[in-house]
Structures are given as C-alpha cells and as structure tokens.
C-alpha cells in the first residue's frame, strides 16, 4: 500500500482538488483495509473487497481511489444514508467492518490548530495527524451479499412490458402477469418525470462547480 501522502496525491487527481473530506476518506479506507488485512486492494487483493458507502460526498471519491472499488465493477455499493461512514467487506474471509467519522473530530481539529481560521484547512491539517481513535468509530459487522450482488454476476436481461427498456440484475416487479421495471412499477418513486413542452436549457450556475465540502 502506498503512503498517506501518495494516496492523497492520487485522490486529489481523481477528485480535482484536495479537501478535508478527501483526507478523511483516504484515512478511513486505509483503516478498513488494515483491519481486514488487505495489503494491496488495487493489486493482488483486488477481488477480495466490496465497499458500502453511506454518503455521496468528497470522501467517497477518496475511498474509491484507495480501495479500487468502483460502481461499474459492482464492488462499490451506495446507500444514501447521509452518513460519513463506510463498510469494508472481505469476500475471502467473510469479515466486514463499518467505520464512521466521529463528530468530535471537528472539535479536536479546532483544539489542535486554533490559529488556522479556515475550517477546511484546519481540518485537513489535523486529519492527517490525528490518531485513528480520534477520527473514527469502528464496529465489526455482518454483511449478506447474495450471488446476485457479487461483482462479476451476469443475469438475464429482461425487457419492461411498459416502457420497453432493458432491465439488469433482477431489478423488476411482476404485476398481473407483466414484468415491469422499478420506474414503471412505482412511478411515484422515480427520480425524474417527463418534461412538458420544449426542453429547458441547462442553467449556467457557478455554484454547481463547487466542491461538496463547501
């Protein structure tokens, strides 16, 4: 495994800049791999690890850089719980550990570097140096990963009877003899809705370019 500084450089390149969330994510992933005894998550151990992420913030990119887990590989699982936490599951041993960032770490960063006025800079500096126990809570957990959730699983592709779109990984519902995708079976839960009239041009909003840490 590379050093902390080397991994932070990789995270910065992947994310676009370095921030406190990136430092936290790198430290979290390093701890998870260390607890599981995974020394080369992007090398010889690349097929051992599945990671569950509970937030879509800057730390998520950093965790992906360290672990090599990706959505496209089905090795990164997103659970939108809004928590700065991740669970690292070892497919080889069946062990899993959930690691959560402690709220008290922010206060500890203020105590360590009160002279640093910028909150992000203050936390970046402190999070590099603080002990794992000051940054994170740890809990050994059990994670049930069925065959259809495993990386590399290839299931049948089914066509939705309502919209005609293809469905992978059994994400469908049988209703009155028809096979429906989740969007057609539960239209009230769709994250989108058909636009009415002419398409609206995209907004040029400078705030959209801001880091999620801001």
**Three-class HEC string of the chain:** CCCHHHHHHHHHHHHCCCCHHHHHHHHHHHHHHHHHCCCCCCCCCCCCEEEEECCCCHHHHHHHHHHCCCHHHCCEEECCCCCCEEEEEECCCCCEEEEEECCHHHHHHHHHCCCCCCHHHHHHHHHHHCCHHHHEEEEEECCCCCHHHCCCCCCCCEECCCCCCEECCCCEEEECCEEEEHHHHCHHHCCCCCCCCCCCCCCCCHHHHCCCCC
Rg (CA), the chain: 20
- pLDDT tens digits, residue range 103-131? 999 999 999 999 999 999 999 999 999 99
Class (C level, CATH) for 154-193: alpha beta
pTM for the model stands at: 0.82
**Parts of the chain with a pLDDT under 50:** none
| CATH number of 4-149, picked from 3.40.50.2300, 3.30.1330.130, 3.20.20.140, 3.40.50.300 | 3.30.1330.130
Domain residue limits, the chain: 4-149, 154-193
Note the pLDDT of residue 172: 87
Note the pLDDT of residue 76: 95
Note the pLDDT of residue 157: 86
- pLDDT tens digits, residue range 70-113? 988 889 999 999 999 999 999 999 999 999 999 999 999 999 99
């Amino acid at each position: 495994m590379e050093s902390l500084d080397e991994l932070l450089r990789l995270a910065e390149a992947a994310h676009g800049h370095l921030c406190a969330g990136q430092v936290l994510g790198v430290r979290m992933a390093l701890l998870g791999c260390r607890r599981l005894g995974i020394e080369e998550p992007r090398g010889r151990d690349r097929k051992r690890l599945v990671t569950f992420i509970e937030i879509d913030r800057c730390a998520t990119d950093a965790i992906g850089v360290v672990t090599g887990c990706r959505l496209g590989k089905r090795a990164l699982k997103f659970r939108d719980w809004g928590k700065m936490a991740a669970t690292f599951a070892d497919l080889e041993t069946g062990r899993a550990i959930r690691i959560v960032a402690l709220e008290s770490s922010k206060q500890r960063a203020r105590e360590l570097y009160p002279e640093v006025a910028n909150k992000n800079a203050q936390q970046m500096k402190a999070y590099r140096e603080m002990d794992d126990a000051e940054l994170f809570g740890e809990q050994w957990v059990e994670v049930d990963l069925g065959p259809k959730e495993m990386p590399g699983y290839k299931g049948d592709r089914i066509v939705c009877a309502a919209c005609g779109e293809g469905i992978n990984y059994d994400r469908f519902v049988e209703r009155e003899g028809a096979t429906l995708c989740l969007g057609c079976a539960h239209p009230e839960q769709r994250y989108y809705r058909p636009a009415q009239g002419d398409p609206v041009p995209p907004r040029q909003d400078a705030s959209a370019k801001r880091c999620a840490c801001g």
